[in-house]
């Protein structure tokens, strides 16, 4: 048929150490809503960034309305009618609705002044079909997330876009607002706009989508009309990978409890979280991005002030009022944001690795250089950190080796509990296996390990116990032998939630 | 070939510029290359060179201290007042340093606890310290001190002017602190990525406050030397010094974004500024025009830093 408005053929893209997309085909028909689903890291965002012109594909072609796209770049794609509405809305909060919609192309009066009257009336015309009362002069920060989204959509339409990409559009919205959004999507379809709809919330898909494409590990698994799919099938395709990666799980005798968390709450982030970690145990925390896993860990670590809850280490309650307390009590955090939170890129391997032990290894502030040199040398050897010397700046190491430097920093400190947040993200397969082994060595030496991860296979294969987080709460705990990927995913997606009440997600929860 | 030239310029541009200026000045002024003049240059350099060492700590953490000139002013005024009141020199010295330390401590507290940017806090401190100086001196110089006190700025040990000795000792101490101590490592680390430092369980606020205290203390040292050398505490002493001080640090290769720089760089940067000041005087260039030149030098130095930063 002739109604294909967009077709992406054989798109491949790799980043250092990761093949993000492998020859993916994707097409979009006029007036259709095409849902794009997949786990975190499946390649959805990368594919859309290629479509929007932000990334350049290594291989593959993009055809728009029967014409091959030759000029790339964000501007060219917008001109060609493609607009992306990102998860974090791209509006300037201090400017008005009208200014945001017409930014960069304000209607002008002769003499270089802005034609405000025309701008406001144009905005009113644009917003009319949405049936929503928004004053064009209102500052964007005063609008609810739902209204902000409408402004984004209106902006896209004013750009004469007929292909809209919506990345997790319902994440910040409440129930009513979601219905409203679906209504808008329905109307847009009727006007011949085609929409690519990305969402983690599988229950929404049947309400809006005409077709569904599942991505997994950078590959397209299938594209089918919605009518031919059930939710269960979608989930199966999302997670059902063959385990080609290695998970060197060894059996470690589990000892007594080393840390217990009771009723931990932080308004807008997590509520009533309780769990424990024992010596020699790896406890996996999984859930979707934004479910609150990282926030739970940051609260335990004293980075965010908790509203309620108790934390026990070795059976004794500890009072953590800041990161320093947590570190003193024997907790180490290997953060998700390696470069921003784990390393000082402009410092050497040695300076980074010894950062946590300078207190111990100095006399009146003077460093015991020889001892530090020896310790770092040992770490480089044990952890197999590939670096020309301990003086090399960590900036120049690969992701896997950078991660090892962060591990070294905490190993040297001999923590009781190690919290790994997405320990293997962006790390190539070989280094992953090494990280898993190091993690188990810690457990073997009697530490408790918490592993926060979005990668289900990693969680399923490396954990002794699995906590599933949804909406800031632990919704389910699995023993290692009880967990299978489909069930875990259903809990992570919130499909097995008994209570209809959801704790607000992180975004916009305070407003 | 061209790349290597640009690289060299970026990395060793300062030293190169230094030598070019030395050569040009030696040719164009017969006085420049005399022992007397050289000692004179270094002695003048020591006054803001010492403060530049303190400023190096601050800039390494990614901060800035605009108040050093005014802190020098208020420390000097109190120094003079206490001398006039007949206090023993050792007490005066401690008090002068104490005033500088107190100013730095106040800046550090506002920066770390109230989370106001260093630029604003030290701009405020610049005005506060100058105001206090004027209040204390009522706008008049306080002059005429004992010969013993005047030794600090004018005396010699083994033929070496005392200000130069103080300067060199401070440079060496700072070098040891930056390379061999916890404080030094954390200073670089905070400038490189404060978030990481905090998440490693280190009290970054403590160390950040400390660098402003160090900066204040060096302003106190400079106040002692200047007051002693002039035999007078002027109410406007130190005005505008922050420009030379920051210029010396930046010319020495420190990045205003923090995390990169060294005391040796600052030492060379201070000498360069000293030589330029001295040379322009010898060549009879008007002081008005000298200001323009110094402004251009600062912009040029930061530009060089941007070029270096691009590679990272």
pLDDT in tens, A423-449: 987 776 677 888 999 999 999 999 999
C-alpha A302/C-alpha B281 separation (Å) is 58
Give B-chain residues touching A323 at CB under 8 angstroms.
198-199, 201
3-class DSSP assignment, residue A426: coil
Cβ pair A340:B195 closer than 8 A: yes
Of all residues in chain A, the one with the smallest CA distance to B309 is: A346
> In sequence order, which residues have a C-beta less than 8 Å from that of residue B92 and are 6 or more positions away?
B79, B82, B83, B149
pTM for the predicted model, two decimal places: 0.77
C-alpha B181/C-alpha A325 separation (Å) is 23
What is the reported pLDDT for A507? 39
Give A-chain residues touching B57 at CB under 8 angstroms.
none
Cross-strand bridge partners of residue B289 = none
Helix runs in A383-474, H state only: 399-411, 429-444, 456-462
Give A-chain residues touching B193 at CB under 8 angstroms.
340, 343-346
Listed by number, the residues of chain B in 251-310 with a beta carbon closer than 8 Å to a beta carbon of chain A are 259-260
Give B-chain residues touching A367 at CB under 8 angstroms.
180-182, 185
- Sequence ranges of the domains in chain B: 43-303
Q: Regarding beta strands A163-167 and A194-198, do their DSSP bridges make them parallel or antiparallel, or are they unpaired?
A: parallel
Q: Regarding beta strands A219-225 and A211-216, do their DSSP bridges make them parallel or antiparallel, or are they unpaired?
A: antiparallel
Segment A39-59 mean pLDDT: 86
Listed by number, the residues of chain A in 143-202 with a beta carbon closer than 8 Å to a beta carbon of chain B are none
Q: Is A156 left (phi over 0), alpha (psi -120 to 50) or beta?
A: alpha
Tens of pLDDT, residue by residue over A135-181, are 999 998 888 877 888 888 888 888 888 899 998 887 767 767 788 88
- Tokens at A476, concatenated: 């389910």
CATH number of B43-303: 1.10.3470
CATH number of A4-239: 3.40.50.300
Cβ pair A344:B188 closer than 8 A: yes
Give A-chain residues touching B181 at CB under 8 angstroms.
362, 365-367
Q: Is residue A400 within 8 Å of residue A353, measured between CB atoms? A: no
Distances (CA, A) of A404 to A420, A439, B29, B124, B256: 12, 11, 59, 44, 30
Up-side HSE of residue B129: CA atoms within 13 Å toward CB?
A: 35
Tens of pLDDT, residue by residue over B103-125, are 999 999 999 999 999 999 999 99
Helix, strand, coil % in chain A, rounded to nearest 5: 35, 25, 40
- Tokens at A377, concatenated: 């040398």
3-class DSSP assignment, residue A332: strand
Closest alpha carbon to B58 in B69, B48, B68: B68
Percent of chain B whose predicted confidence (pLDDT) is above 70: 95
Distance from CA of A334 to the nearest CA of B (A): 9
3-class DSSP assignment, residue A128: helix
What is the reported pLDDT for B146? 94
Complex ipTM value:
0.82
What is the reported pLDDT for A441? 92
Look up tokens 């923590």; give the residue: A415
Burial of B99 from C-beta contacts in 10 A (0-12 / 13-18 / 19+): buried
- Tokens at A142, concatenated: 């005063």
Q: Regarding beta strands A194-198 and A417-421, do their DSSP bridges make them parallel or antiparallel, or are they unpaired?
A: unpaired
What is the reported pLDDT for A19? 80
Cross-strand bridge partners of residue A270 = A266
Q: Is residue B150 within 8 Å of residue B228, measured between CB atoms? A: yes
Cβ pair A327:B181 closer than 8 A: no
Q: Is residue B191 within 8 Å of residue B62, measured between CB atoms? A: yes
CATH number of A255-330+415-427+445-511: 3.40.50.300
What is the reported pLDDT for A497? 62
Higher pLDDT, B77 or A336: B77
Tens of pLDDT, residue by residue over A104-140, are 888 888 888 889 999 999 999 888 877 778 899 999 8
Res. A244: pLDDT tops 70 = no
Put simply, whether B201 touches A (Cβ < 8 Å) is: yes
Give B-chain residues touching A342 at CB under 8 angstroms.
196, 199
Q: Is residue B198 within 8 Å of residue B78, measured between CB atoms? A: no
Up-side HSE of residue A358: CA atoms within 13 Å toward CB?
A: 25
Phi and psi at residue B40, to the nearest 5°: -60, -45
Higher pLDDT, A455 or A441: A441
**Range(s) within chain A of domains with CATH label 3.40.50.300:** 4-239, 255-330+415-427+445-511
| DSSP-assigned letter for residue A417 | E
Among A324, A326, A366, the residue with its CB nearest the CB of B203 is: A324
Q: Is residue B60 within 8 Å of residue B119, measured between CB atoms? A: no
- The three-point CA angle A261-A263-A267 to 5° equals 115
Closest alpha carbon to A27 in A309, A168, A225: A225
């Amino acid at each position: 048929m002739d109604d294909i408005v967009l077709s992406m053929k054989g798109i491949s893209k790799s980043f250092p150490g990761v093949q993000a997309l492998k020859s993916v085909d994707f097409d979009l028909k006029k007036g259709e809503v095409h849902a794009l689903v997949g786990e975190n890291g499946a390649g959805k965002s990368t594919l859309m960034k290629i479509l929007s012109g932000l990334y350049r594909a290594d291989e593959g072609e993009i055809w728009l309305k029967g014409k091959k796209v030759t000029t790339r770049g964000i501007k060219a794609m917008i001109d060609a009618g493609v607009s992306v509405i990102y998860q974090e809305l791209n509006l300037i909060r201090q400017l008005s609705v009208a200014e945001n919609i017409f930014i960069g192309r304000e209607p002008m009066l002769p003499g270089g002044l802005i034609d405000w009257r025309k701008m406001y009336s144009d905005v009113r015309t644009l917003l009319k079909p949405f049936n929503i009362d928004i004053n064009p002069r209102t500052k964007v920060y005063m609008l609810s997330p739902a209204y902000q989204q409408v402004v984004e959509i209106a902006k896209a339409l004013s750009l004469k876009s007929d292909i809209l990409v919506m990345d997790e559009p319902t994440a910040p919205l409440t129930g009513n607002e979601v219905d409203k959004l679906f209504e808008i999507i329905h109307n847009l379809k009727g006007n011949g706009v085609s929409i690519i709809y990305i969402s983690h919330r599988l229950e929404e898909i049947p309400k809006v989508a005409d077709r569904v494409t599942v991505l997994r590990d950078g590959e397209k698994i299938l594209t089918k009309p919605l009518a031919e799919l059930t939710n269960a099938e979608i989930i199966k395709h999302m997670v059902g990978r063959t385990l080609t990666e290695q998970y060197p799980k060894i059996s470690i005798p589990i000892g007594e409890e080393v840390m217990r968390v009771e009723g931990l709450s932080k308004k807008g982030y997590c509520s009533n979280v309780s769990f424990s970690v024992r010596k020699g145990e790896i406890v996996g925390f999984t859930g979707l991005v934004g479910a609150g896993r990282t926030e739970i860990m940051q609260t335990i670590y004293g980075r965010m002030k908790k509203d309620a809850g108790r934390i026990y280490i070795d059976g004794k309650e500890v009072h953590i009022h800041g990161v320093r307390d947590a570190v003193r009590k024997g907790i180490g955090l290997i953060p998700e944001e390696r470069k921003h939170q784990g390393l000082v890129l402009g410092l050497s391997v040695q300076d980074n690795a010894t950062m946590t032990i300078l207190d111990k290894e100095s006399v009146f502030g003077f460093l015991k250089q020889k001892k530090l040199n020896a310790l770092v040398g040992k770490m480089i050897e044990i952890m197999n950190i590939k670096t020309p010397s301990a003086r090399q700046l960590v900036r120049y190491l690969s992701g896997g080796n950078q991660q090892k430097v962060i591990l070294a920093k905490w190993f040297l400190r001999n923590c009781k509990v190690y919290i790994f947040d997405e320990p293997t993200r962006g790390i190539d397969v070989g280094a992953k296996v090494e990280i898993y082994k190091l993690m188990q060595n810690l457990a073997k030496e009697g530490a408790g390990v918490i592993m926060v991860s979005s990668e289900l296979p990693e969680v399923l294969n490396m954990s002794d116990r699995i906590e599933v987080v949804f909406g800031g709460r632990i919704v389910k705990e699995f023993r290692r032998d009880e967990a299978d990927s489909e069930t875990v995913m259903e809990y992570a997606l919130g499909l097995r939630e008994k209570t209809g009440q959801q704790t607000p997600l992180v975004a916009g929860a305070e407003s | 070939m061209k790349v290597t030239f640009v690289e060299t310029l970026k990395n060793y541009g300062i030293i190169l510029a230094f030598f070019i200026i030395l050569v040009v000045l030696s040719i164009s002024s017969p006085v420049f290359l005399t022992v007397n003049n050289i000692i004179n240059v270094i002695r003048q350099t020591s006054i803001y060179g010492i403060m530049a060492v303190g400023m190096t700590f601050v800039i390494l953490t990614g901060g800035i201290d605009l108040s050093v000139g005014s802190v020098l002013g208020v420390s000097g005024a109190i120094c003079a007042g206490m001398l006039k009141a007949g206090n023993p020199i050792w007490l005066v010295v401690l008090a002068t340093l104490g005033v500088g330390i107190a100013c730095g401590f106040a800046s550090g507290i506002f920066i770390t606890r109230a989370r106001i940017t260093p630029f604003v806090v030290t701009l405020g401190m610049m005005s506060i310290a100058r105001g206090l100086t004027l209040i204390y001196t009522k706008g008049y110089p306080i002059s005429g001190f004992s010969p013993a006190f005047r030794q600090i700025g004018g005396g010699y040990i083994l033929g070496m002017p005392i200000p130069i000795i103080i300067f060199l000792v401070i440079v060496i101490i700072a070098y040891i602190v930056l390379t061999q101590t916890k404080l030094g490592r954390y200073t670089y680390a905070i400038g490189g990525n404060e978030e990481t430092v905090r998440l490693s369980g280190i009290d970054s606020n403590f160390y950040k406050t400390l660098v402003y205290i160090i900066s204040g203390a060096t302003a106190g040292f400079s106040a002692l030397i200047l007051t002693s050398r002039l035999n007078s505490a002027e109410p406007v002493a130190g005005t505008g010094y922050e420009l030379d001080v920051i210029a010396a640090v930046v010319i020495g290769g420190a990045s205003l974004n923090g995390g990169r720089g060294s005391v040796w760089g600052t030492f060379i940067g201070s000498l360069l500024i000293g030589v330029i000041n001295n040379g322009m005087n010898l060549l009879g260039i008007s002081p008005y025009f000298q200001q323009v030149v110094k402004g251009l030098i600062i912009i040029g130095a930061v530009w060089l830093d941007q070029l270096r930063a691009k590679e990272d």
